[in-house]
Amino acid sequence: MNNFEHTPFHTPESLYVLNEDLLAAEDLTGLSLIMAFTGFSDAGHVVTQINGELADHLAHEPLAVFDIDQLIDYRSRRPRITFSEDHLSDYRPPSLVLHRMVDALGTPFLYLYGTEPDLQWERFSKAILGLVDRLDVNLVAWVHSVPMPVPHTRPIGATVHGNRPELIEGISAWKATMEVPAAIGHVIEFKLTDAGRNVVGYAIHVPHYLSDAEYPPAAVAGLEYLGAAASLMLPSERLREAGRAVERQITEQVEASSDVAGVVTKLERQYDEHSEGTARRSLLAGENDELPDADELGAAVEAYLASRDGGATAEPDGGIS
């Protein structure tokens, strides 16, 4: 066997630094792990809102800090910085940190949040699986959000996937087989399943005409799914109140425009038709299993977006850093 076959790659463990003091002070084995990454799909800023809620309301301490310089392509996703008249301020570098958190009832859990890696997905996935094995994680649950042709007047739906039938069956708003661009969460879930580890993922459905602004009801739904899966009491009251205010604003916009009202009515009809019975087709599909015609909905939706108050936009990596 030649020397080349013995040459090791950099180890997955060299991607992060562990808080050994925390590991020595507390038994962190057997906890649940929640994952949320920005940079893939964050319709309605669901992931960003969830992180802000957890960071503001729950006690947390970093357990593992990842070397972001090894994982990010800065030129493809440039960090934000503020130019203020004659000087620069508020540089916001990306980060990726595994935290030890405690929920509202004092139950500890692990929370991995930050920028989705651009690079070294295989090595990063091995690092996560190594931590899952070392800490004997009970369940890995992760969340992201996608824009869908659904009305805001119906319950927030989700597509659920993983290897825990009791957390999946009867929940997914649509079931389909298709090839999609992978996110790092998908890759980690795939590898966890192969390793026989408990894992579940939630893709929260956000009305596509609201996907560019913060949509608190979808973030509340994400927190509820994660909390139920991991048996955690996660905070959501602030988001619920913000959601009620947003819903009032949307109602005013719909009532003020017959075009927008027509779009919402059509989406409601389509949603209700697909919801009838136990067998559900993909909500992404139209009458003949074709994607909705963008031109058909675009004019009224664009009018809605143009008349909107420009809802608050969240920083790409707000909250925990």
Helix (H, G, I), strand (E, B) or coil at 246: helix
Q: Are 101 and 59 in contact (CB under 8 A)?
A: yes
Examine the pLDDT at 317 and tell me if it is beyond 60. Answer: no
Ranking 111-125, 195-209, 267-281, 287-301 by mean pLDDT, the lowest is 287-301
DSSP 28: -
Q: Are 166 and 54 in contact (CB under 8 A)?
A: no
Give the count of alpha carbons within 13 A of 23, CB side only: 10
Query: Residue 240: is it exposed, middle or buried by C-beta count within 10 angstroms (0-12/13-18/19+)?
Result: middle
pLDDT tens-digit map of 251-285: 998 999 888 899 899 999 988 887 775 444 333 34
**What domains does the chain contain, in order, with CATH numbers?**
3-307 (3.40.50.10900)
**CB atoms closer than 10 angstroms to residue 292:** 18
Give the separation between CA 296 and CA 165, rounded to whole angstroms.
Answer: 38
- Residue written as tokens 């997914």? 172
Give the separation between CA 285 and CA 223, rounded to whole angstroms.
Answer: 27
How high is the pLDDT of residue 302?
47
Q: Which two tokens stand for residue 264?
A: 């919402």
What is the average pLDDT score of the chain? 85
Give the separation between CA 210 and CA 204, rounded to whole angstroms.
Answer: 13
How high is the pLDDT of residue 243?
95
Predicted TM-score (pTM) of this structure: 0.82
- Which string of DSSP letters, residue by residue, matches 37-77? EESS-BGGGHHHHHHHHHHHHS-EEEEEEE-GGGT--TTTS
Mean pLDDT of the 239-249 span: 95
Examine the pLDDT at 4 and tell me if it is beyond 70. Answer: no
Percent of the chain at pLDDT exceeding 90: 70
How far are the Cα atoms of 4, 55, 138, 139, 228 from residue 231, in angstroms, in the given order? Answer: 48, 19, 11, 10, 5
Examine the pLDDT at 301 and tell me if it is beyond 70. Answer: no
Examine the pLDDT at 172 and tell me if it is beyond 80. Answer: no
Q: Are 48 and 116 in contact (CB under 8 A)?
A: no
How high is the pLDDT of residue 7?
53
Examine the pLDDT at 160 and tell me if it is beyond 90. Answer: yes
How high is the pLDDT of residue 288?
42
How high is the pLDDT of residue 6?
53
